[in-house]
Amino acid sequence: MAGACDMIRTLIADDEPPARDKLVRWLGEQPDLELVSIARDGISAAEAIAALSPQLAFLDIQMPGLSGLEIAAQLEAATAPLLVFVTAFDEYAVKAFELDAVDYLLKPYDRQRLDKCLARVRARFGDGAARSAAVRAARTQVQDCRRLLVPVGEQLQLIDVDAIEWLEADDNYVHVHAAGANYLLRRTLADLLVQLGEQRFVRIHKSAAVNLAQIQSLSPLFKGDYELLLRDGQRLRLSRRYREALFARMGR
């Protein structure tokens, strides 16, 4: 629970001006909330979360560029803000509740409903599990995603998942190799594979996975290992531990 002197750093992301303005006005009247960012689309919201580290985020589920659920799926679970999803559709409200978000607001909501939501926020403010539960659940909901949010300088951009050639683990980071570029994400490889959909990617080593569509050929090496040649010319080693799984996926 937030203390008497705590200010909860808050972000609002909604592409509908009337709904966004109403939430800005009502939250601005709260003595313990500090509005640090007001975003009008999903990518701007994701960039603001990365740059400003808000402790609470109101995310509209349907937004241009990136949905609220897609934003949640690409946050770092350990540092994610408390999430409140906002939607005009019952089906998304149910999904938001199942994701174990702190709460959801179904448009049009009144002041009494918002007050109830804020009571839940204040009660769970210090609950680290609540901050990460929605992120982990969102990743299982947003499987087989078509776009991945990656850092480019101080900004974020979406790349086509089909353009990814391979993934390389580096402790708690993953190097995403795509179309000649290398993007560094603070994620684990296992976690990222869940989001991307393991039907398209397969491990070839404990610290590497490839896009099946990017494999051009395989050549045997020694002791059961193979060399993979990707379409971009990159050569990678297939460990014998992962050989049978890859062969099964390729129908060999």
Give 205-239 as a DSSP string.
Answer: ETTEEEEGGGEEEEEE-STT-EEEEETTS-EEEE-
- Give, for all 252 residues of the chain, the pLDDT tens digit: 554 457 899 999 999 999 999 999 999 999 999 999 999 999 999 989 988 999 999 999 888 888 888 888 888 877 889 999 898 887 765 665 666 678 889 899 999 999 999 999 998 887 767 667 778 777 777 766 778 888 888 788 888 889 999 999 998 899 999 988 999 998 889 888 877 876 789 999 999 999 999 999 999 988 888 899 999 999 999 999 999 888 888 876
Tokens 């949010």: give the residue: 149
Superfamily covering domain 147-250 = LytTr DNA-binding domain (2.40.50.1020)
Domain residue extents for the chain:
8-141, 147-250
Residue 107: Cβ within 10 Å count: 15
Q: Which fold has domain 8-141?
A: Rossmann fold (3.40.50)
Distance CA 252, CA 167 (A): 23
> Comparing 8-141 with 147-250, is the CATH topology the same?
no
Q: How far is CA 13 from CA 24, 146, 187, in A?
A: 10, 22, 24
